[in-house]
Amino acid sequence: MTQVLEFRLPDLGEGLTEAEIVRWLVQVGDVVAVDQPVVEVETAKAMVEVPCPHGGVVTARFGEEGTELPVGAPLLTVAIEATADAVPESSGNVLVGYGTSAAPARRRRVRPSPPGTRLSDGVSRTAGPGTAGASADPGPAPLPSSEVLTSAAAPGGTRGPAVPDRHDGPVAVISPLVRRLARDNGVDLRLLAGSGPDGLILRADVEDVLRTETARAGATAARAAAAAGAVRGAAGAQSVAAASGVLGTGTSGTAAAGTRVPLKGVRGAVADKLSRSRREIPDATCWVDADATELMRARAAMNAAGGPKISLIALLARICTAALARFPELNSTVDLEAREIVRLPQVHLGFAAQTERGLVVPVVRDAHTRDAESLTAEFARLTEAARTGTLTPGELTGGTFTLNNYGVFGVDGSTPIINHPEAAMLGVGRIVPKPWVHEGELAVRQVVQLSLTFDHRVCDGGTAGGFLRHVADCVEQPAVLLRTL
């Protein structure tokens, strides 16, 4: 017995509600294995390959590349062979760690239709001996990511199996040529009963429908022409009246000219998150200039000693974690419903990374437990993943504090928007030679501007100022960090 399973876009986790099709990995007619990736999609957080939990022949794809689909929308259909009294098994996996559970999703079972089933085209046919139709269980059920669409009985019956009263998806069609013929001519395959083996719809079935429609169209051509003439006359009068109305008011319903860019994907997610931050968080910003000459010398000495090279952002991250240990108020979040400030024990440090897809904020987990070498390696790994678009949603969420190095853009200062629901963000400008009073004398030193934007609900200016001053002291005198090692 042939069954066609519909695989829907699964819940990708982390509150994601839609995804954009980037690239199809299979074509209609391809044979796929269980858990084989079939499509690459881009969410608001990352690009991921979606595996299909069923093995069989791909009979249809839903959506072209660039199409945005909501979670639960059909992705593709797969035709498989299964026994008549059992629902086909699948792996139960959709995406590891992306909202799946150990057990496979609940599916609708198929059951025989009673004699005299009425087809969706309104014609009543009686199934012959050995012929059974498929009928969906009318009881309510959660929407699964894949469900049985059609079922064909064993051979020995009439011309084709009875069709269910209602189809929620395509029927059993294996040949992409048949599907294309129907699509090009506007034939709804869900209204056909296949004459092929196991009830499959063949090319002859579609051509029979086309011949019938052609004859019917010829018989009604004269009446249609007359009706069209009458409609054109009425439409002309209405158009004149509408034009007069527009001219009388002197207004136009056309939209303003300009290029429109959809707010979707990464850009849409950034827009939503920044807007929410501005609405909910009463932020404030303080800043200070610091002499980074000694920090740059310390880094040069570390790298000259051999071993893995230490990055500047890794040293700044180490300074951040040390400052957060002294001022834990800034490593927190606000629970609006409970009206509580939640101070977090771990530091999951986010850092802003600009990519071709837009701004992303990868997260270094447990940054407070890492040394400079470990931080350097993790920053490098996450930066490369951001560049190639392979960051997972888990690597883009869960941050507790953000480090924003906007100095790479050649600017000195900024007042960044807090990455909701965090409570603070440290901004680092470019490090440039500037005149600076050092040990009582004017000298050229490597100067950087540091800025801290913080949620004024979690602390007052004294705490924020103390945090920023400690960061500046560690930048100017890296030996201060020895106290916390």
List active site positions. 456, 460
Q: Closest by alpha carbon to 120, among 61, 154, 171?
A: 171
Q: Closest by alpha carbon to 119, among 188, 59, 177?
A: 188
Rounded Cα gap, residues 445 and 292, in angstroms: 8
- Reading phi first (left if > 0) and then psi (alpha if -120 to 50, else beta), residue 400 is in alpha
Q: Closest by alpha carbon to 149, among 31, 6, 1?
A: 6
Token pair recorded at residue 50? 């979606």
* DSSP structural state of residue 118: B
Q: What is the DSSP string of 21-43?
A: EEEES--TT-EE-TTEEEEEEE-
Rounded Cα gap, residues 326 and 470, in angstroms: 9
CB-count burial class (<10 Å; 0-12, 13-18, 19+) for 360 = buried
Per DSSP, helices labelled H in 350-425 are 372-388
> CB–CB of 191/205 below 8 Å?
no
Rounded Cα gap, residues 175 and 27, in angstroms: 12
Angle between helix 461-476 and helix 293-304 axes, rounded to 10 deg: 50
Quick count: other Cβ atoms within 10 Å of Cβ 278? 13
